[in-house]
Structure 1
Amino acid sequence: MTETEQRAAGDQRARFEALAHVVTEPLHRYLLRRADPDQVDDVLSETLLVLWRRIGDVPGLGPDPVPRERPDPDAVLPWCYGVARGCLANARRSDRRRRSLLERLTWTARTPAGDTTDPDHTALHAALAQLRALDREVILLWAYEELPPSRIAEVTGLSANAVSIRLHRAKKKLAAQLERKTGPHPGHETDEGQETGNGRSSR
Structure 2
Amino acid sequence: MGGERARFESVYRETYGRLTAYAARRCDSPQDAADVVAETFAIAWRRMGEVPDGGQATLWLYGVARKVLANHYRGEVRRQALSVQLDAELADVYQAAPDSEVELTAIKQVFLTLPDADRELLSLVAWEGLDREQIATVLGLSRNAVRIRLHRARRRFARALAEADVRFRPEGRLIPAEEGQL
TM-score (norm 1): 0.36
Determine which structure has more spread, i.e. the larger CA radius of gyration.
1
Say which structure is richer in helix.
Answer: 2
TM-score (norm 2): 0.40
